Amino acid sequence: MRLFFLALIIGLIGMQNRGAAEEGQNLPTDVKVTYIANAGFLIQVNNKKVLVDALFKDVENEFYDCPSTELTQRIIDGEGEFAEIDLVASTHEHIDNFDEKIVASVLVNHPESKFLSCSKTIDQLGNNSQYQRFKKQLVSITPERMMHIDTLINGIEVRTYRISHGPYFIEDPLTGRKTDLYKFAEHVAFRFTIDGVTIFHCGDSNSNALAEYEQLRLDRDELDFAFLGRGFLYQPQGQGVAIMKKYIQAKHYVIMQIQHEDNEYYKEVAGAVKSELPSIKVFEKESESRTYNITPLQGALTSH
Q: Quick: pLDDT tens for 156-202.
A: 999 999 999 766 656 778 777 877 566 767 899 999 999 999 999 99
- The whole-angstrom separation of Cα 87 and Cα 56 is 16
**pLDDT confidence band for 8 (50 / 70 / 90):** very low
Q: In this structure, are residues 287 and 71 in contact, taking their beta carbons and an 8 Å threshold?
A: yes
Which of these, 155, 143, 252, lies nearest to 198 by C-alpha position? 252
pLDDT, one tens digit per residue, over 20-61 is 444 445 678 999 999 999 999 999 999 999 999 999 988 777
What does the buried/exposed string (b/e) look like for 269-293 if buried means 16 or more CB atoms within 10 Å of the residue's CB?
Answer: bbeebeeebeebbbbeebbeeeebe
Cα separation, 45 vs 196, whole angstroms: 10
Distance CA 88, CA 86 (A): 7
Q: H or E segment at 212?
A: helix 210-216
**Which among 153, 228, 220, 165 is positioned nearest to 192, based on CA atoms?**
153
Question: Of all residues in the chain, what percent are helix, strand and coil, respectively (each to 5)?
Answer: 30, 25, 40
pTM attached to this predicted model? 0.86
Q: 175 vs 72, which has greater pLDDT?
A: 72
Mean local confidence (pLDDT), 220-236: 96
Structural domains of the chain, with CATH: 28-291 (3.60.15.10)
